[in-house]
A and B are shown apart, each in its own frame.
Chain A
């Protein structure tokens, strides 16, 4: 799955990666994919939880970027 927008959240501590995601999700069209690249271990739980709370779809883990985990979100509204 090729993301339409990649958010480099390396070095950010929670809740900053999720704040970045919330700020920028509107930059892509509904149905498009945003990748959150984050080394904060909290992101693994917080990105899916954000999707659930905000009505977006968590599309699973993406390919690591230079060894950093990424998390895919499909804009749903």
Chain B
């Protein structure tokens, strides 16, 4: 049978899209550049003829723009195929290069799964992993983190902000402690790049373009000069020797264009998003009994808010909200195949079921948020009353 391709070629409906922390729709600036670069940057950037040199120029341009946005030098930046790959290469490449120093990798308990899985792979090959706990707000204690970093530590990892609850981590203080011991710090900055000033003090930084409105398939791995790193993969000359395979030049340039546009609008967007998030944080407990708003009340991402509704299955709630036209995500997994609740909510010691993460897109309006607040109480109350738990 011949497979067919079916794509509508019309912009998707963004109304009610409240899951920007999963992925942000393509930024208009990226779309324009992507289309132009598909025609202009298709050749092999490793070759020497005209079209190849053109592709190389575009790739170098993309690297410069991204480097400027994250506070790096262009030759410290490599494009990966995803944020996850950036984290995997960053963690395993540093742990491998510093094997003689020590076998310990320190991570916070609430890192993205890519960090935890890379650390698990390190442990499976004979390394040690220390998980630093967090408080009820999902924040590590900088002093506690520093105590976990010893002279036998090959690498420390700390996210800039938590992807599920929005809590910002004390990266600057942890970076200072790590620098004092000569231990490199990998910062997973996927949730802050293009939204907030990127924390300083990192040795390696990982990010993901589709989180800031660039295309999917592009991640960023930056490795500071002087940080020992060796590829955990077979040697390859491309990607500055850090990332194997033929670069996607058009997508890298589009990612850079989106990042530049987002960086320019970041401050004003963060202010308006924070106001809407404040509204959700304040209103939800008033509108609904037995709800826990989680994440740090002040030290948090501007666009993300998470709450848990007692007695409700989070994934069922997500599907009910979808029927009402809202796309949100949930850290609950009452029916998921993993059988385990979100490791982030577990580590925080907060309610793991009935969980909803709302993350505002660049285009989210106040009226969408208000409509969400209008719809939510009825949906939850209906679910509670169907389950016979509305009077508990």
Q: Which A residues lie at the B interface, using CB under 8 A?
A: 13-15, 18-19, 22-23, 40-42, 44-46, 48-50, 52-54
Mark the stretch among B93-101, B335-343, B369-377 that contacts chain A.
B335-343
**Contacts beyond the supplied A15-B313, A15-B354: 4 A-B pairs with Cβ under 8 Å:** A14-B332, A15-B334, A15-B353, A42-B334
Contact of A45 among B290, B334, B341, B389 (CB under 8 A): B341
Mark the stretch among B226-234, B275-283, B344-352 that contacts chain A.
B344-352
Name the residue on B nearest A25 (C-beta): B392
**A-B interface contact total, Cβ < 8 Å:** 66
Contact B339 A49 (CB under 8 A): no
Q: Which B residues lie at the A interface, using CB under 8 A?
A: 290, 292, 308, 310-313, 332, 334-335, 339-341, 345-346, 349-354, 387, 389, 392
8 tightest A-B CB contacts, nearest first = A49-B351, A22-B392, A15-B353, A14-B353, A42-B341, A42-B352, A14-B334, A45-B352
Contact of A49 among B340, B350, B389 (CB under 8 A): B350
**Of listed A14, A48, A50, residue having the most chain B CB within 10 A:** A14
Name the residue on B nearest A39 (C-beta): B339
Give min CB distance, B211 to chain A, whole Å: 27
Measured in the bound complex, the distance between the Cα atoms of B346 and A26 in whole Å is 27
Contact A22 B334 (CB under 8 A): no
Contact A46 B389 (CB under 8 A): no
**Inside 8 A of B292's CB, which chain A residues have their CB?**
49, 52-53
Contact A19 B350 (CB under 8 A): no
**Inside 8 A of A53's CB, which chain B residues have their CB?**
290, 292, 310, 351
**Inside 8 A of B351's CB, which chain A residues have their CB?**
45-46, 49-50, 53
Measured in the bound complex, the distance between the Cα atoms of B335 and A45 in whole Å is 17
Contact of B349 among A18, A23, A41, A48 (CB under 8 A): A48
Give min CB distance, A24 to chain B, whole Å: 10
Measured in the bound complex, the distance between the Cα atoms of B346 and A14 in whole Å is 13
Name the residue on B nearest A58 (C-beta): B349
**Inside 8 A of A18's CB, which chain B residues have their CB?**
310-311, 353
Name the residue on A nearest B389 (C-beta): A19
Name the residue on B nearest A15 (C-beta): B353
Contact B349 A50 (CB under 8 A): no
Give min CB distance, B12 to chain A, whole Å: 32
Measured in the bound complex, the distance between the Cα atoms of B392 and A18 in whole Å is 11
Name the residue on A nearest B291 (C-beta): A53
**Inside 8 A of B339's CB, which chain A residues have their CB?**
40-41
Contact B311 A46 (CB under 8 A): no
Contact of A50 among B310, B341, B345, B387 (CB under 8 A): B310
Name the residue on A nearest B350 (C-beta): A49
**Inside 8 A of A48's CB, which chain B residues have their CB?**
349
Give min CB distance, B199 to chain A, whole Å: 29
Measured in the bound complex, the distance between the Cα atoms of B195 and A15 in whole Å is 35
**Inside 8 A of A40's CB, which chain B residues have their CB?**
339
Knowing A19-B389, A23-B392, A53-B290 touch, does A45 contact B350 (C-beta < 8 A)?
Answer: yes
Measured in the bound complex, the distance between the Cα atoms of B292 and A53 in whole Å is 8
Give min CB distance, B207 to chain A, whole Å: 30
**Of listed A15, A46, A53, A54, residue having the most chain B CB within 10 A:** A15
**Inside 8 A of A15's CB, which chain B residues have their CB?**
310-313, 334, 353-354
Give min CB distance, B213 to chain A, whole Å: 34
The 14 listed contacts between A and B (C-beta, < 8 Å) are: A14-B352, A15-B312, A15-B313, A22-B389, A41-B340, A42-B341, A42-B346, A42-B353, A45-B345, A45-B352, A48-B349, A49-B351, A52-B292, A53-B290
**Inside 8 A of B392's CB, which chain A residues have their CB?**
19, 22-23
Contact B341 A19 (CB under 8 A): no
**Inside 8 A of A50's CB, which chain B residues have their CB?**
310, 351
**Of listed B340, B353, B387, residue having the most chain A CB within 10 A:** B353
Name the residue on A nearest B290 (C-beta): A53
Measured in the bound complex, the distance between the Cα atoms of B389 and A50 in whole Å is 14
**Inside 8 A of B312's CB, which chain A residues have their CB?**
15
Contact A46 B352 (CB under 8 A): yes
Measured in the bound complex, the distance between the Cα atoms of B311 and A23 in whole Å is 11
Measured in the bound complex, the distance between the Cα atoms of B340 and A42 in whole Å is 7
